Amino acid sequence: MIKNTILKKFAIPLVCLTLLIGLSTPAWAGTSFYLQTENEDNTKTNPLSNQNDTIATAQSKDYNLNTPSAIYYMNGTIKDRNDIDFYKFVYQKSAGSTASNGRFAITLEVSQRSNDYDLTLVDASNRTILTAQSYKQAAFQQNKIIRVPANTLINNTTYYVKIVPKTIGSPTSTDYTLKFIDNISTDTITPGTGVIHLVSYDGKLSAPAVANARRETLDPNAKVLSASLIATKSPYSTGINWQMCVTPGAKYQQKWYNANWNTGDVPEIKTAGFLLKDDWYIAFSGTSIKAGINLVQVDNPKLTLTYEYDTTFAF
């Protein structure tokens, strides 16, 4: 009777539904928005008023990602094929978002698909530091993005964004929006709820239960920063050597990582670089000290994962 009950319980995965947390959150969700307009937009009826066409005349852009998830907007226009727009900003490593670690993204969104502009990050000598990638979705294929890695730029140093027209297929609608985005965010999830039991026989590792942490609509490369695994000792079990274990990946036998029973922290996970999309398996081992009983049980295990992801992953 005990075995049948246990087998039925093990047949119930730890996670029985797709996680919905954050699925409706827009990719550009941010807490702060700053809007500027290109200077020459105010006089774009004058063909000679290309005011920000060189490094020397670059328009200053207010940029300081000291607010987590901030987005800074710049609205501009490419007036003709000879119009080059420069914007300068003083790079300041984010102090408000510990996740960013100096990382951010620059995006260029065009008003018409037939208009294609190059987007480049350059230094004061107009030397290229990073070039943009195209947005792959067909409906917005001319949009561009530059993802700035950590430790790429020097703090409190002036840099320039350069916008150069390649193709102008809609000369009457050449507007664009330039954005600076604090694009690295952190979140925490606890996949799985409900009554789950893990049983250790003769001090051996229990059958594993799966905690599906996949977030298909978020960054597929979301990296796990830390893990915590806790459980409750069954009131019917008397044992020693209580040990919770977790491992990622389809081949869960490769290596089990031990959780601290008192805090739930899994120290080795912090530096392992695992991805959130991996299947995560949990298990338990314990040794019975009750005469005639060779099993020990824990109830309701909970795996909590803290991870970071790129909010602009789909751009």
Domains 2-19+191-310 and 33-182 fall in the same CATH topology: yes
Kindly list the strands in the beta sheet with 279-288, ordered across the sheet, starting from the edge strand earlier in the chain.
209-212, 279-288, 239-248, 257-258
In the prediction, which pLDDT does 17 show?
24
Q: Return the half-sphere exposure (C-beta side, CA atoms, 13 A cut-off) of residue 199.
A: 16
Domain ranges within the chain, ordered by starting residue? 2-19+191-310, 33-182
The pLDDT score that the predictor gives to residue 142 is: 78
The whole-model pTM stands at 0.76
* β 257-258/133-134 pair status: unpaired
Is residue 138 classed exposed, middle or buried when 0-12, 13-18 and 19+ CB atoms within 10 A define those classes? exposed
Task: Name the nearest CA neighbour of 192 among 260, 311, 279.
Answer: 279
Residue 180, C-beta contacts closer than 8 angstroms, at least 6 positions apart: 61, 63, 65, 71, 72, 89, 104, 105, 106
Ranges 217-226, 258-267, 304-313: which has the least confidence: 217-226
Query: Kindly report the CA angle at 200 between 199 and 203, in degrees rounded to 5?
Result: 165
pLDDT one-digit tens code per residue, 194-209: 568 999 999 999 998 8
Give, for 6, the enclosing helix (H) or strand (E). Answer: helix 2-10
Structure confidence at residue 212 as a pLDDT band (50, 70, 90): confident
Query: Quick one: tokens of 169?
Result: 């297929």
* CATH fit for domain 33-182, picks 2.60.120.380, 2.30.30.90, 1.10.1660.10, 1.10.8.640: 2.60.120.380
Which contiguous run of DSSP H or E holds residue 9? helix 2-10
What is the domain class of 2-19+191-310 according to CATH? Answer: mainly beta
pLDDT tens digits, one per residue of 65-114: 655 567 888 899 998 888 999 999 988 776 544 445 678 899 999 988 88
Of 52-66, 253-267, 296-310, the range with the lowest mean pLDDT is: 52-66
